[in-house]
Amino acid sequence: MVSVDPEPRGAADRALDPESAAWVRELTASGPVHDEAVLRVHALLVRVARAEVRRRRGQLAIAGPELDDLAQQAADDAVVSVVAKVGRFRGESRFTTWACKFAIFEVSNKVGRHFWQRPAVAMDAEDWDRLPDRFGLDPARAAEWGEVVAALRRAVAEELTDHQRRIFAAIVLNGVALDALVAELDSSRNAIYKTLFDARRTLRATLVAHGYLDKDATRQA
Amino acid sequence: MSSWQSLERFLRTDPLDAGCAETFELLDRYVERQLAFGDAATRYPGIAAHLASCNPCVQDYEGLLRAISGPAGTPE
């Protein structure tokens, strides 16, 4: 994975739009001006978090007041991040867009934690029987993909590190949500994604080296 | 077309992939660029590459896009 250039040329020197400048000024002030700005940004982030929780309620095993509690918790945590980081806001977007990002991210965190309320979620077992369904492999054409899946299974066993194998099994074979794994392992989304990214690259290279996949394209069946 | 194309697609990694941390850092700019000009993927190819294979970050992208397009993201 690579870093990207975050700044369009000259953007770091861009003046904040008046509304964003007012938010920054008030949130970095002290006393009642600061407190009132915190209340206003909290109200904004509660609305955003509630809307996001409603949008993602299909991923949650909770409903009603518990959904609202989750949104409130996400907004509370997002406000803490916004207030702590407002000094780093440079105006490359509107302040409200920047602040809403934290509310959306905190909803993701909370949704990930709630994943474990589902019954019988296995994390460490390797349930290879789920793989065909996970990738839409037609059982009627098992003669075509059976060899590739067997080679993939060997590559998972032989080529991945223990940590990569654990992450691969949890996400790919057992259907654990990535953010749920972040919560379970007290890790970060970036770290888990990077582990899976490296595992995917290793597995693909192994299948290519053994002739199961073409280097630049899928082998034709 | 092979019967394992979706598996092959999953295993394929893009060297441009910016990762989750960079994507979070730039997500507000990416979303505003997309709404204003519709060319965020061209301006931020590493973020676009990442969104092509990271479902949690896609969820955040879609959530933020909806938040700032709708009434919830407007200060009262």
Given a contact cutoff of 8 angstroms between Cβ atoms, the answer to whether A204 and B11 are in contact is yes
Nearest to A49 by CA among A109, A118, A114: A109
Residue A8 has pLDDT above 50, yes or no: no
Give pLDDT, residue B4: 78
Which ipTM was obtained for this model? 0.91
Find where tokens 């008030």 sit.
A26
- Contact at CB, B70 and A145, closer than 8 angstroms: no
Tell me if B6 is assigned to some domain. Answer: no
Query: Domains (ranges, CATH) in chain A?
Result: 11-117 (no CATH), 128-209 (1.10.10.10)
Residue A119 has pLDDT above 70, yes or no: no
The total number of structural domains in chain B stands at 1
- Contact at CB, A51 and B60, closer than 8 angstroms: no
Least confident of A12-21, A62-71, A160-169, B44-53: A12-21
Portion 24-83 of A in contact with B at CB < 8 A = 40, 43-44, 47-48, 50-52, 55-56
Among B8, B15, B26, select the one facing A213 at the smallest CB separation.
B8
Residue B57 has pLDDT above 90, yes or no: yes
Tell me if B33 is assigned to some domain. Answer: yes
If you average pLDDT over residues B54-60, what whole number do you get? 97
Find where tokens 């970036």 sit.
A190
Tell me if B63 is assigned to some domain. Answer: yes
Interface size A-B, in CB pairs within 8 Å, comes to 164
Q: What is the pTM of this model?
A: 0.89
**A83-to-A76, A91, A93, A105, B76 alpha-carbon distances in Å:** 11, 15, 17, 15, 19
CB contacts of B32 in chain A (<8 Å) are 93-94, 97
- Higher-pLDDT residue of B34, A125: B34
Tell me if B11 is assigned to some domain. Answer: no
If you average pLDDT over residues A48-62, what whole number do you get? 91
The verdict on B37 touching A (C-beta cutoff 8 Å) is no
Least confident of A80-89, A142-151, A202-211: A142-151
Range of the domain at B33: 17-70
* Distance separating alpha carbons of residues A10 and A70, to the nearest angstrom: 39
